[in-house]
């Protein structure tokens, strides 16, 4: 009887130990190939620098390539929630991929940390939290600078997809409030190799400034086309272009471009009073130690911030449930919604039940490409 009791005690202790050490499974879908790979690859690199555990629980990262394709993103998300029983899904960095992934996350009652400013219909983002700043927040910073520069008219050249249309909507609303008019609009697909026809039409309209909505290295091509057509006005780019790929590919054609960005890209140039100075510097030092000077990237910073957010939320969720359960997934969502003011490398987050964006209008900053480098405006 004593032997049986000992065996039962040992078995119980083993089971409790196993439960305490349950893996936190995170499924990640990234555009490691395709048109948005310039966003996904730096993110993937940052995830390689993550710790092996958070709050004493082993973290199991499953990273899959969605090839910048929505169908692949949905397929990956379904695999995460069905086969892998993921506690959390992350991705994609491509907006057209992140949006349909949100439906899978909602149906499975699983948190999605989106690495793109995915705009969802009201009530459809109950499980989706965004790490990038919203387009409206970034449009606020952009229009503020345009107003200071005396810009009155703007031409729009952007993607035909959800990212491009969202930027056009949010920028137009902010511009209208400040007496700035969008006088010409042209669109192109992410896979297009040329936008010369669109550039010709926009140059003929001769706006004071041009807004280009594209991402990564793909943001250089439309600017080169506009410059080649003789446009001499100011050219603005969105936070999806806040990457050195813009300068690497665009060369002299992107000199003088204005790019809106979160603070992480220009960590050292932030004043000491800036709340994100320390985490931004920490991100840059860690990332560039691993991948070389100048390798910092807006999207890699989102990967750094995802770690910071989870290091705050997971301990709270663990007080209510164990990984691998529906209760844990719900507790994680609740923890994110109630974690309060959270300083990260890309600004200050304050997610709530009614706001899964979290950033204020003060988050965005304007950079200028000067001699192949970033300068804060």
The CATH number covering residue 239 comes to 3.40.50.2300
Kind of pairing, strands 153-159 and 181-188?
Answer: parallel
- How many residues comprise the chain? 377
In a domain, 276, yes or no: no
Among 213, 244, 261, give the residue marking a domain's end: 261
Are 129 and 140 in the same domain? no
pLDDT number for residue 58: 97
Counting as low any pLDDT under 50, the low residues of the chain are 1-20
Residues 22 and 122 in one domain: yes
Whether residue 232 is found in the same domain as residue 217? yes
pLDDT at 10: 37
In this predicted model, what pLDDT tens digit does every residue of 207-243 receive, in sequence order?
999 999 998 889 999 999 999 999 999 999 999 998 8
Distance, CA of 142 to CA of 202 (rounded, Å): 20
Is 65 part of any domain? Answer: yes
Are residues 191 and 297 part of one domain?
A: no
User: pLDDT, tens digit, for every residue of 21-78?
Assistant: 579 999 999 999 998 998 999 999 999 999 999 999 999 999 999 999 999 999 999 9
Q: Is residue 68 part of a domain?
A: yes
Q: How far apart are CA 146 and CA 103, in angstroms?
A: 37
Range list of β-strands (E), the chain: 24-30, 53-54, 57-65, 88-91, 111-114, 128-130, 153-159, 181-188, 209-213, 234-237, 258-261, 342-344, 347-349, 365-370, 373-376
Tell me, rounded to whole angstroms, the distance of Cα 316 from its chain centroid: 24
Please check whether residue 274 lies inside any domain of the structure. Answer: no
pTM: 0.85
362, part of any domain: no
Q: In terms of domains, do 168 and 185 share one? A: yes
Inside any domain, residue 375: no
Q: Which two tokens stand for residue 129?
A: 């939290």
Secondary structure element (H or E) that encloses residue 286, with its range: helix 277-291
Do 207 and 89 share a structural domain? Answer: no
> Using CA atoms, how far apart are residues 34 and 238, in angstroms rounded to an integer?
20
Indicate if 12 and 80 belong to the same structural domain.
Answer: yes
Is the Cα torsion angle 193, 188, 205, 209 positive or negative in sign?
A: negative
Separation CA 325–CA 122 (nearest Å): 27
Instruction: Write out pLDDT tens, residues 129-140.
Output: 999 999 999 999
**Contact between 331 and 321 (Cβ < 8 Å):** yes
How many structural domains is the chain composed of? 2
Q: 147 and 233, same structural domain?
A: yes
Residue 25 lies in a domain: yes
- Asked if residue 159 and residue 124 are part of one domain, the reply reads no
Residue 354 lies in a domain: no
Instruction: Indicate whether 120 and 148 sit together in one domain.
Output: no
156 and 215, same domain (yes or no): yes
Do 83 and 182 share a domain, yes or no?
Answer: no
Tokens 């989106």 — which residue?
A: 114
Q: Are 190 and 178 in contact (CB under 8 A)?
A: no
Average pLDDT, the chain: 92
Domain housing 236: 135-261
């Amino acid at each position: 009887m004593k032997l049986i009791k000992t065996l039962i005690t040992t078995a119980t202790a083993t089971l409790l130990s196993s439960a305490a050490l349950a893996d936190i499974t995170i499924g990640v879908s990234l555009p490691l190939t395709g048109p948005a790979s310039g966003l996904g690859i730096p993110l993937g690199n940052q995830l390689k620098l993550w710790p092996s555990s958070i709050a004493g629980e082993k973290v199991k990262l499953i990273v899959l390539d969605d090839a910048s394709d929505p169908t692949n993103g949905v397929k990956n998300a379904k695999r995460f929630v069905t086969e892998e029983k993921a506690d959390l899904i992350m991705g994609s960095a491509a907006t057209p991929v992140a949006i349909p992934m949100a439906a899978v996350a909602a149906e499975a009652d699983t948190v999605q940390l989106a690495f793109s400013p995915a705009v969802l219909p009201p009530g459809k983002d109950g499980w989706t939290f965004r790490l990038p700043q919203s387009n409206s927040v970034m449009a606020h910073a952009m229009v503020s600078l345009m107003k200071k520069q005396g810009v009155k008219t703007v031409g729009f050249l952007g993607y035909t997809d959800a990212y491009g249309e969202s930027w056009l909507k949010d920028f137009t609303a902010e511009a209208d409030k400040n007496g700035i008019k969008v006088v010409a609009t042209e669109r192109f697909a992410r896979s297009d190799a040329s936008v010369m026809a669109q550039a010709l039409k926009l140059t003929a309209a001769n706006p004071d400034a041009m807004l280009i909505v594209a991402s990564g290295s793909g943001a250089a091509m439309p600017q080169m086309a506009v410059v080649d057509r003789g446009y001499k006005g100011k050219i603005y780019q969105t936070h999806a272009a806040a990457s050195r790929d813009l300068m690497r590919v665009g060369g002299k054609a992107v000199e003088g471009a204005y790019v809106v960005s979160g603070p992480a890209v220009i960590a050292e140039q932030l004043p000491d009073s800036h709340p994100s100075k320390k985490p931004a510097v920490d991100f840059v030092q860690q990332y560039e130690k691993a991948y070389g000077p100048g390798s910092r990237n807006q999207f890699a910073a989102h990967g750094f911030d995802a770690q910071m957010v989870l290091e705050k939320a997971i301990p709270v969720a663990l007080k209510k449930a164990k990984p691998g359960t529906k209760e844990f997934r719900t507790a994680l969502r609740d923890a994110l919604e109630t974690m309060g003011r959270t300083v990260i490398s890309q600004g200050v987050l304050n997610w709530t039940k009614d706001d899964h964006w979290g950033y204020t209008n003060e988050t965005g900053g304007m950079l200028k490409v000067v001699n192949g480098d970033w300068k804060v405006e």
